[in-house]
Amino acid sequence: MGAMKITTWNVNGLRAALGKGFLDSIAALDADVLCLQEVRAAPRQIGDGWLQCLDELYPHKAWNPAARAGYSGVATFARQSPLELQLGLGSPRYDAEGRVIVSRYPDFLLFNIYFPNGGRSLERVPYKLDFYAYLLERCINLLAAGEQIVICGDFNTSHRSIDLRNPKQNEKNTGFLPEERAWIDRFLEQGFVDVYRKLYPDRVQYTWWTFISNARTRNVGWRLDYFLVSHPLAERVQDSIIHDDIFGSDHCPVSLIL
């Protein structure tokens, strides 16, 4: 099997992104599988013309919109049909928000995930931490059963100080709370590899910039979008690329080449 390119991108509203050159961007990215988060739309809300253009690039599409209109939602677009698809994690508490699609490929399971945001006043931090815990338990069981796993998406957490421009000022803000960061440690302790950081231990690159105060131009950003890959599969990683030159959202795409 030749190299496979998987790209993850929080598009911050697919309808908005389509109006900002999304089709040109994904054509240039040329991924075999495209995992989108914060789609905020069901297929019926996207114009037929756009859907036809998407079909030409990606004939196989899975959508998992949230129950609440215009909120959250993930979609996985693929050139080849996956062997199996599962929408959600199998828990009503997490699945109403349209945060997960699992696709089976011949030698791994691909989790496309939009992790919860802890909220400005931290009101959703407990839910976010419970989501991490539930997912990790699920993954531990799958790894024990011999599965290989790729988790990608918007983790809504920067792991270490190198992963955001202003770590000191953000220690009490969601996305860089010690208890959120500890969950990424736990995934790594259970046999996952943060492939970008393994390949580039000292490189400073971000994947998200607030729309406020010209943050992107000044590169005041956070690395929130990751590929975590189970240990044996990590040996097959050729590269991981943060495409911080691609616009159209407050996040940029990130790719994994296996």
Give the pTM.
0.98
Confidence at residue 35, expressed as pLDDT on a 0 to 100 scale: 99
As to burial, measured by CB atoms within 10 angstroms (0-12 exposed, 13-18 middle, 19+ buried), residue 105 is: buried
What's the average model confidence in pLDDT over 30-34? 98
Confidence at residue 1, expressed as pLDDT on a 0 to 100 scale: 57
pLDDT in tens, 36-65: 999 999 999 999 999 999 999 999 999 999
On the question of pLDDT at 4 being above 90, the answer is yes
CA torsion angle 135 136 142 148 (round to 10): 100
Would you list the domain boundaries of the chain? 5-257
What's the chain's average pLDDT?
97
Confidence at residue 127, expressed as pLDDT on a 0 to 100 scale: 98
As to burial, measured by CB atoms within 10 angstroms (0-12 exposed, 13-18 middle, 19+ buried), residue 245 is: exposed
Catalytic-labelled residue, pool 24, 130, 154, 245 = 154
Confidence at residue 2, expressed as pLDDT on a 0 to 100 scale: 80
d(CA 130, CA 173): 18
Confidence at residue 64, expressed as pLDDT on a 0 to 100 scale: 97
Contact (Cβ atoms closer than 8 angstroms) between residue 50 and residue 19: no
What's the average model confidence in pLDDT over 73-84? 98
Confidence at residue 213, expressed as pLDDT on a 0 to 100 scale: 92
On the question of pLDDT at 236 being above 90, the answer is yes
pLDDT band at 118 (very low <50, low <70, confident <90, very high): very high
What's the average model confidence in pLDDT over 185-196? 98
Q: How many Cβ atoms sit within 10 Å of the Cβ of residue 142?
A: 16
Q: Is 154 a catalytic residue?
A: yes
What's the average model confidence in pLDDT over 71-81? 97
Domain 5-257 classification at class level: alpha beta
